[in-house]
Amino acid sequence: MSLFLNRKLLFIVLGFALFQASFAQEPVTVERSNNKVILEGKVFYIHVVKPGQTLYSIAKAYYISQKEIAIENPGVMSGLQIGQALKIPLEPILDKQIDTSAGESPDESVRTHTVQPDETIYSIARSYNMDETSLLDANEGVESGNLQPGQKLVIPGQKVIGREPVYNEEGFVYYKVKRYDTLYSIARFYNVAVREIRTANPELGWGGPKTGQVIRIPLPQVIDHPETALDTVPVDSRLHVQSDSLLKDYNYEELMFQHDDPNRTYRIACFIPFDFQKPEPLDSLIKNMKSVTRRNRITERYRMEQKIPQAVNYLEFFQGTLLAIDSLRQTGMRLDVRFYDTRKSMDHTRSLLENGEMEDMDLIIGPFYTFNLDVVSTFARKNKIPLVTPFYSELDFVRSNPYLFQLSPSLEKEYQEVARLIASKHTYNIVYVRGEDSLDIKKLDYFKELIFDGFDDYRPVEPVIFKEVILKLEHTDEIIHSLSPDRKNLVIVPTSNEAFASPVVSSLYYKLKDFEIEVIGTPFWTEFSTIDYRYYHELNLIYYSSFWVDYLDPQVNDFLNRYRNHFYSEPISTTRKGINYGIVGYDMTFYFINALRLYGPRFILSLDEYQPGLVQNSYSFSRVTSAGGYENKEITFYQFSPDMSIGEIEVPELPVRSFFFRPMEDRRKRYLNLDRD
């Protein structure tokens, strides 16, 4: 009864607020977020409140009512806080009518699209990878200039129009899984790879989808590229759940007796997705766009992208490789290095591999995108060519390719190392903070199990205080209630979501006068832009990375000077995890080509004794399976200190276990007593 009265009162308050808001003037322009999450089967935008924004202006920007926002975010009617993360409900277009298990193709099915405010025939056709004429032909009486929000359009079978897919954060549809659906049937229907669906839905793990579950389908956003057709191929899901036990041991017999030839010229292939293309004209992007605000936003974003194209990241990687090659040539090493533009295309990458010269390569560097890595890894495995990939961190390829070297440690390895560090602090009041989003639940439960396993290794005398807080974005008070004033507090926040981490860090910072706090974040945190670095230092943030750049290190400064002298610029582009493209390009290229110089093709068997000087951390490769390749397991921890310094910290060694022998007589008596019972 009280719940009903509270909701009724809430609606009354909301109604009054809406009445007032109708006379209010919008303070600032609100830009809609592109970040979406799935919570309990519903899809939400995550909007971070900025100065000057009001509930009215936010609701107007997302074309929903203030009441809808308040229902999902209790407490917003009493006021918004700068930096507060709001859940904005989005009713996704769910393809509920499609029976993927029946084996029908997209060309034979009929789907509908609900027109959203400011959408045009051009933008809708573009999102479904078709031309405007096909869409208009399927909707008799509809014209380009008479669309109305809420109007239903029939989406005919998709026709590929000679353009190439580029996957990005906005390129998704949301599909509600029905009975008898499988990942393979869904992937076949949407013409995407099973692996791409798994990547977009990490909560699936190695299992399949459940009936009623909403999953993301990564559909391509098309760009003009007439010479390349859509190159997604059907993938059998059985290929990607292959058990390690089914793979045969690989012993590198062909390398056992190979030696370095000092007069040999080594052939290196570098696959880099430069993808330089003529941008789509701005006029076509804002064609028929009635909203002045949206036109201005698209124009501003377009100009920014033209100033710093995405290909600049890979250009800096390329420049780093050139510096490494120059250093190695100065040693007298003979090199034939060839760079290939993959164009972010699986089809084009296949065509490059069909070139007869590829089979004679001694080393392949790259590629960068998952769908291309799949193709190149298969080729390298077949031809026994060492292959190194810089940013991919899943273990599915490296488990079955003994010639693959993976530079970025897997999430499993990161969790194992962080769990060891946490377990060493078992005397703290440990607070484990995670969101209510179910996307990462399996990963976070696995992480928690590793932490408890670590506690067992330490065999603590006193009970471990471990509190798990499942946090709603607007209720950070729950963390404060979990802190202890009587002992040190270790707050673990294993997230890459800045909208989630920011309010947590802010809340903890303002409670430092009452509690002694350390925070453990993730490698993504140094790339966050909305959190003041002072907070990190005051909260003694512990951060871990395999690619930390110490700008006080003379070796780092020497590299930067060489880079400036050669290219008259700074290597500033980084990944979301803070990996510098230019520096990793140099280190990775130098490490592997120098290994060829010292050991020849058999360098794979000599990694234990090989430790060259690198700009960043050294690499520590370990074989993941007896049939697979190598993963870099070098992970270093750093801690921010209140004196504004950042220092490396070591994970303590596990305590030595005590063993004792029970006298045989006591053991015999114990067994006898058990028998009597």
Chain segment 645-662, per-residue pLDDT in tens: 999 999 888 776 655 444
What is the model's pLDDT at position 432?
A: 94
Look at residue 561 and tell me whether its pLDDT is greater than 90: yes
Q: Which two tokens stand for residue 531?
A: 């959190």
SS (H, E, C) 617-639: CCCCEEECCCCCCEEECCCEEEE
CB atoms within 10 A of CB 460: 13
| Cβ proximity of 433 and 481 under 8 Å | no
542 - beta bridge partners? 520, 639
202: DSSP letter: G
Cis-peptide into 226, omega within 30 deg: no
Q: Which of 60-64, 119-123, 399-403, 506-510 has the lowest mean pLDDT?
A: 119-123
Q: Which two tokens stand for residue 627?
A: 């049939």
Give the pLDDT band of residue 277 (cuts 50, 70, 90).
Answer: low
Residue 542 or 138, more confident: 542
Which range, 76-90, 112-126, 534-548, 602-616, is most confident?
534-548
Q: Please state the domain extents for the chain.
A: 2-90, 253-275+310-409+552-632, 411-545
Mean pLDDT calculated for residue range 392-404: 91
518 - beta bridge partners? 490
CATH of 411-545, one of 3.40.50.2300, 3.40.1160.10, 2.70.98.30, 3.40.50.300: 3.40.50.2300
What is the model's pLDDT at position 310?
A: 67
| Cβ proximity of 433 and 504 under 8 Å | yes
Distance CA 164, CA 230 (A): 5
What is the model's pLDDT at position 309?
A: 65
pLDDT digits (tens, 9 = 90+) for 328-384: 999 999 999 999 998 878 888 999 998 888 999 999 998 988 888 989 999 999 999
CATH 3.30.2350.10, applies to 253-275+310-409+552-632: no
| Cβ proximity of 539 and 518 under 8 Å | yes
Distance CA 493, CA 524 (A): 12
Look at residue 181 and tell me whether its pLDDT is greater than 80: no
Say which residues have a Cβ less than 8 Å from residue 587's Cβ, sequence separation at least 6: 320, 324, 614, 615, 616
- Domain 2-90, what architecture? Roll (3.10)
What is the model's pLDDT at position 183?
A: 76
| Cβ proximity of 400 and 628 under 8 Å | yes
Say which residues have a Cβ less than 8 Å from residue 310's Cβ, sequence separation at least 6: 275
What is the model's pLDDT at position 254?
A: 84
pLDDT digits (tens, 9 = 90+) for 474-488: 677 888 989 999 999
Say which residues have a Cβ less than 8 Å from residue 585's Cβ, sequence separation at least 6: 316, 317, 318, 319, 320, 321, 324, 390
| Cβ proximity of 489 and 429 under 8 Å | yes
Residue 423 or 248, more confident: 423
| Cβ proximity of 148 and 190 under 8 Å | no
What is the model's pLDDT at position 130?
A: 72
Q: Which two tokens stand for residue 648?
A: 């490396």
Torsion on CA atoms 255, 260, 266, 267, rounded to nearest 10: -10
3-state SS assignment for residue 313:
helix
DSSP string, 375-416: HHHHHHHHHT--EEESS---STTTTT-TTEEE-SPPHHHHHH
Give the pLDDT band of residue 43 (cuts 50, 70, 90).
Answer: confident
Look at residue 563 and tell me whether its pLDDT is greater than 80: yes
What is the model's pLDDT at position 286?
A: 75
Look at residue 129 and tell me whether its pLDDT is greater than 70: no
CATH topology of 2-90 equal to that of 253-275+310-409+552-632? no
| Cβ proximity of 338 and 269 under 8 Å | yes
Tell me the pLDDT of the chain averaged across its residues.
Answer: 77
What is the model's pLDDT at position 406?
A: 95
Model pTM above 0.85 = no
Give the pLDDT band of residue 283 (cuts 50, 70, 90).
Answer: confident
| Cβ proximity of 47 and 86 under 8 Å | yes
Q: Name the percent of the chain lying above pLDDT 90.
A: 32
